[in-house]
């Protein structure tokens, strides 16, 4: 009867889940729940831009609800929430009550220009309480806290005090006030002696009350590098963003893509006081805290001591031995009496069904009974889905070792039936198509000679461990075979390991690479490590040298690796050789800005320098001249002796003119036999005209080309800057060009100043 009720309940639950999913798909309306750790109106104002942003980016209607813990749990149980954001302790409680898909992302909280993915607890009192200065002073004090399920508002502080030998739960009066703001007000008013709040609350409230920090005193203050808030405890991961199981995978991917796309300077991030979201953090530290404090969902777990651990987990350690002994005894009793046989079989099935670890009974190679843990492991709805099938049905065709699953299972069952105990790693297919790694133990539980013996099969989920091993192998493979140089240093910047690409690019043998500094700039190296330590990473380009002294250009990214307590333990650097790219860039710059024949600036670079010169002249209240130079009688030389001779003539004339001009002046070839010059710091007309006369003289001197002495002259036009009116560089060059044509019309081999024609 009870089994029938269980099946009916599971079916009804499945139907409700399907209805909920269809409802969401139909109207595309989703609800985003946020835990109300501060007053509701503050959180509504802060997180409404986030849900509006998600609605825009996903094309779905996403509504915001701010809920306390009790209401959020009720809403989740009723499938009224699709996504929720809460503190890690509350997440563990919800996870224990429902089958969640896991953490979607971890909140990155903003603190001014910095950000953090960690939180902690703050222990504080009024600044004028001279009688409370250390943790030891908290005995018999009245303590205010938002609630027992607040990680940063209660649990982190209690653990910190326990480590200091102080258990406030036994002697102190603790007031649970619901929100952090009420805790602060209670301490400031004198209703409570000490307050427990999470990190960032004082900083947030100080925005409305700038004098707040002068009113409070933080106890047991921790100095944690890179952490931007006042803190009294160790650090834990920030709030997780979680999707409920009924939300379809496509919607989850849309929301995940949207939250990961948030940049720190985005409007939505600034409004919410966050820097975006990071990949899911490891919440094992939170689990350890909850287990240690014995708070939900681990409130029934005993204090973990060696004696208690042996008492609590002795069944896990000796499960197989005890079960084998029990079942062998049962088999003997079954031989004596059918009544005893039936009784013991019933007892065995009850034991298996109540066992917390996945376990199955196998008779004749097929499942004869199973427990709920096995059903949950394979993600089926009832035991009936497994009974009557063999393990190979739920396995892929081949196991990772290359053996056929059905054949390998048959050999194992044969050996177990012969009295052996078999253990191995096995891959199973869940009902949703995902794979799960298990550690399988099979043991016979029948007496020798019994024709229909039972086999106990216990399964232990090792998926997380196998994936970690795969990630480690992948990381090792990337480290070994990457074409980019990868190196690892200790906290002082000394290389402790490097891949082959690092040795090849730097030219260092391994014995000269390990134990030395990486090839960072000597002057900037300490600053690079300091930046990576403070910001988490540094990237940039710089010039270095190989071990043989050859120059090399490197593009480097340096990231910091932090330990369990937030301290920097290592640095990981990646760099690649960009010398060829830099050389190509240099050649392209030359081609874009310099004349290929004379090596002088071209029209593009001339225009840029003219703009800079005009700006400098304005700042210094000086004067400059723009000079346009065109060679006279150049075409006859080019036609008579060929283009090669003409090129030689242009190079020689350009060299002469460059020698006449000063270092601060610019001479450019505009094209053909046309040149332009910028003459800086013109003192008076006489000095400028003297310079132009020297230019004409040098140009007119004979030039030996193609075994002939040839002579050319130049026509020069110039204009001055500044003038009345706002002129740009192109207008100045046109004025000088017009003046040059006037010089040609007046007989050539002369200079003419531009004069604005009268109306």
Query: Integer distance in angstroms from the first to the last C-alpha of the chain?
Result: 112
CA atoms of 109 and 128, how far apart (whole Å): 31
Report helix angle 634-641 to 643-660, nearest 10: 140
CA atoms of 666 and 80, how far apart (whole Å): 74
pLDDT beyond 50 at 10: no
pLDDT beyond 80 at 475: no
* pLDDT in the model for residue 336: 63
What is the 8-class DSSP label of residue 179? S
Residues forming beta bridges with residue 512, ordered by sequence position = none
Query: Radius of gyration over alpha carbons of the chain, in Å?
Result: 40
CA atoms of 118 and 109, how far apart (whole Å): 8
Question: Which parts of 661-728 fold into alpha helices (H)?
Answer: 685-700
CA atoms of 701 and 696, how far apart (whole Å): 9
Q: Is 673 in the active site?
A: yes
Q: What percent of the chain has pLDDT over 70?
A: 86
Residues forming beta bridges with residue 369, ordered by sequence position = 361
Average pLDDT in the 87-108 region? 86
Which of 396, 446, 351, 412 shows the shortest CA–CA distance to 359? 351
31-40, 45-54, 132-141, 520-529: which has the minimum mean pLDDT? 520-529
Which of 451, 538, 444, 455 shows the shortest CA–CA distance to 489? 538
* pLDDT in the model for residue 25: 44
The gap from C-alpha 168 to its chain's centroid, in whole angstroms, comes to 38
The set of residues, in sequence order, having a beta carbon less than 8 Å from that of 178 and lying 6+ positions away, is 68, 146, 147
Average pLDDT, the chain: 84
CA atoms of 758 and 743, how far apart (whole Å): 19
369, 595, 665, 673: the active-site residue: 673
Tokens of 489: 């240093």
Q: Which of 104-118, 183-197, 393-407, 413-427 has the highest mean pLDDT?
A: 183-197
Tens-place pLDDT, residues 675-685: 999 999 999 98
What is the 8-class DSSP label of residue 178? S
Asked if 239 and 85 count as a contact pair (C-beta separation under 8 A), the reply is yes
Which of 681, 689, 660 shows the shortest CA–CA distance to 616? 681
Tokens of 189: 């008013």
* pLDDT in the model for residue 431: 84
CA atoms of 277 and 256, how far apart (whole Å): 9
pLDDT beyond 80 at 15: no
CB under 8 Å, gap of 24 or more: what pairs does 294-299 form?
A: 295/89, 295/148, 295/149, 295/155, 296/93, 296/96, 296/149, 297/92, 297/93, 297/95, 297/96, 297/97
Asked if 185 and 154 count as a contact pair (C-beta separation under 8 A), the reply is no
Which of 44, 24, 25, 23 shows the shortest CA–CA distance to 34? 44
* pLDDT in the model for residue 344: 55
3-state DSSP helix/strand/coil % of the chain, to nearest 5: 45, 25, 30
Tokens of 208: 């409305």
Average pLDDT in the 81-103 region? 86
CA atoms of 734 and 754, how far apart (whole Å): 10
Residue 293 sits at the vertex; the CA angle it makes with 291 and 298, to the nearest 5 degrees, is 40
Tokens of 608: 């840029």
CA atoms of 328 and 5, how far apart (whole Å): 33
The set of residues, in sequence order, having a beta carbon less than 8 Å from that of 306 and lying 6+ positions away, is none
Q: What percent of the chain has pLDDT over 90?
A: 35
127-131, 147-151, 272-276, 322-326: which has the minimum mean pLDDT? 322-326
Asked if 113 and 106 count as a contact pair (C-beta separation under 8 A), the reply is no
* pLDDT in the model for residue 477: 64
5-14, 114-123, 338-347, 465-474: which has the minimum mean pLDDT? 5-14
272 burial via Cβ count (<10 Å: 0-12, 13-18, 19+): buried
Residue corresponding to tokens 């939300």: 247
* pLDDT in the model for residue 758: 60
CA atoms of 628 and 731, how far apart (whole Å): 13
CA atoms of 658 and 668, how far apart (whole Å): 9
Number of C-beta neighbours around residue 203 at 10 A: 16
- 346 pLDDT band, cuts 50/70/90, is low
pTM of the model: 0.41
Tokens of 453: 């013996």
Tens-place pLDDT, residues 705-754: 878 888 899 999 999 999 888 889 899 999 999 999 999 999 899 999 99
Asked if 299 and 293 count as a contact pair (C-beta separation under 8 A), the reply is no
What DSSP letter does each residue of 68-84 carry, written as one string? -HHHHHHHHHTT--SEE
Tens-place pLDDT, residues 215-263: 999 999 998 888 999 999 999 999 999 999 889 999 999 999 999 999 9
Beta strand spans in 130-180 (E): 142-145, 173-176
| Core vs surface per residue 323-333: b (16+ CB within 10 A) or e | bbebbeebbee
33-37, 69-73, 346-350: which has the minimum mean pLDDT? 346-350
């Amino acid at each position: 009867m009870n089994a029938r009720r269980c099946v009916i309940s599971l079916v009804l639950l499945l139907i409700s889940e399907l209805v909920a999913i269809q409802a969401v798909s139909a109207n595309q309306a989703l609800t985003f729940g946020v835990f109300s750790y501060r007053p509701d109106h503050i959180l509504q104002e802060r997180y409404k831009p986030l849900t509006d942003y998600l609605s825009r980016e996903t094309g779905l209607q996403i509504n915001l609800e701010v809920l306390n813990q009790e209401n959020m749990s009720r809403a989740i149980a009723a499938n009224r929430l699709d996504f929720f954001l809460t503190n890690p302790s509350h997440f563990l409680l919800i996870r224990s009550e429902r089958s969640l898909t896991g953490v979607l992302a971890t909140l990155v909280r903003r603190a001014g220009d910095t950000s953090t993915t960690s939180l902690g607890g703050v222990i504080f009192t009024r600044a004028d309480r001279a009688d409370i200065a250390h943790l030891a002073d908290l005995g018999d004090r009245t303590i205010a806290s938002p609630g027992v399920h607040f990680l940063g508002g209660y649990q982190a502080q209690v653990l910190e005090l326990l480590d200091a030998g102080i258990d406030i739960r036994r002697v102190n009066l603790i007031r649970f006030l619901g929100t952090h703001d009420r805790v602060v007000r209670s301490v400031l008013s004198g209703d409570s002696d000490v307050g427990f709040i999470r990190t960032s609350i004082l900083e947030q409230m100080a925005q409305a009350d700038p004098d707040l920090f002068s009113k409070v005193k933080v106890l047991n203050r921790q100095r944690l590098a890179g952490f931007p808030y006042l803190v009294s405890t160790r650090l834990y991961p920030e709030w997780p963003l979680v999707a409920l199981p009924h939300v379809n995978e496509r919607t989850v991917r849309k929301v995940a893509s949207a939250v990961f796309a948030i940049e720190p300077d985005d409007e939505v991030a600034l409004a919410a006081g966050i820097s975006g979201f990071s990949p899911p953090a490891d919440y094992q530290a939170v689990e350890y805290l909850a287990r240690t404090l014995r708070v939900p969902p681990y409130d029934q777990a005993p204090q973990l001591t060696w004696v208690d651990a042996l008492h609590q987990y002795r069944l896990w350690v000796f499960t197989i031995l005890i079960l084998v002994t029990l079942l062998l005894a049962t088999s003997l009793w079954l031989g004596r009496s059918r009544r005893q046989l039936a009784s013991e079989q019933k007892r065995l099935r009850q034991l298996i069904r109540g066992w917390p670890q996945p376990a199955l009974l196998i008779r004749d190679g097929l499942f004869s009974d199973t427990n709920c843990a096995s059903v949950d492991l394979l993600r089926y709805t009832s035991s009936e889905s497994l009974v009557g099938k063999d393990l190979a049905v739920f396995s892929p065709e081949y196991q990772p070792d290359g053996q056929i699953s059905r054949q390998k299972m048959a050999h194992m069952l044969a050996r177990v039936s012969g009295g052996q105990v078999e253990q191995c790693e096995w891959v199973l297919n869940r009902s949703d198509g995902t794979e799960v790694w298990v550690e399988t133990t099979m043991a016979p539980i029948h007496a020798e000679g019994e024709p229909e013996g039972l086999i106990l099969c216990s399964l232990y989920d090792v998926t997380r461990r196998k994936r970690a091993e795969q990630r480690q192998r992948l990381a090792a493979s990337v480290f070994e075979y990457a074409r980019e140089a990868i190196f690892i240093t200790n906290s002082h910047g000394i290389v402790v390991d490097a891949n082959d690409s690092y040795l090849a690019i730097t030219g260092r043998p391994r014995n000269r690479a390990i134990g030395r500094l990486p090839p960072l700039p000597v002057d900037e190296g300490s600053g690079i490590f300091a930046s990576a330590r403070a910001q988490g990473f540094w990237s940039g380009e710089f010039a270095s040298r190989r071990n043989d002294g050859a120059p090399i250009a490197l593009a480097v990214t340096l990231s910091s690796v932090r330990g369990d307590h937030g301290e920097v333990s290592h640095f990981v650097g990646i760099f690649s050789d960009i010398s060829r790219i830099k050389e190509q860039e240099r050649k392209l710059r030359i081609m874009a800005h310099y004349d290929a024949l004379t090596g002088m600036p071209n029209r593009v670079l001339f225009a840029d320098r003219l703009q800079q010169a005009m700006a400098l002249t304005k700042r210094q209240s000086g004067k400059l001249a723009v000079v346009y130079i065109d060679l006279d009688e150049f075409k006859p030389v080019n036609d008579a002796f060929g283009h090669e001779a003409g090129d030689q003539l242009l190079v020689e004339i350009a060299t002469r003119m460059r020698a006449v001009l000063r270092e601060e002046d610019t001479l450019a070839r505009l094209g053909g036999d046309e040149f332009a010059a910028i003459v800086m710091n013109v003192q008076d007309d006489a000095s400028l005209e003297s310079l132009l006369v020297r230019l004409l003289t040098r140009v007119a001197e004979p030039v030996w080309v193609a075994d002939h002495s040839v002579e050319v002259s130049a026509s020069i036009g110039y204009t001055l800057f500044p003038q009345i009116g706002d002129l740009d560089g192109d207008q100045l060059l046109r004025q000088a060009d017009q003046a040059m044509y006037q010089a040609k019309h007046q007989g050539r081999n002369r200079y003419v100043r531009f004069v604005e024609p009268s109306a």
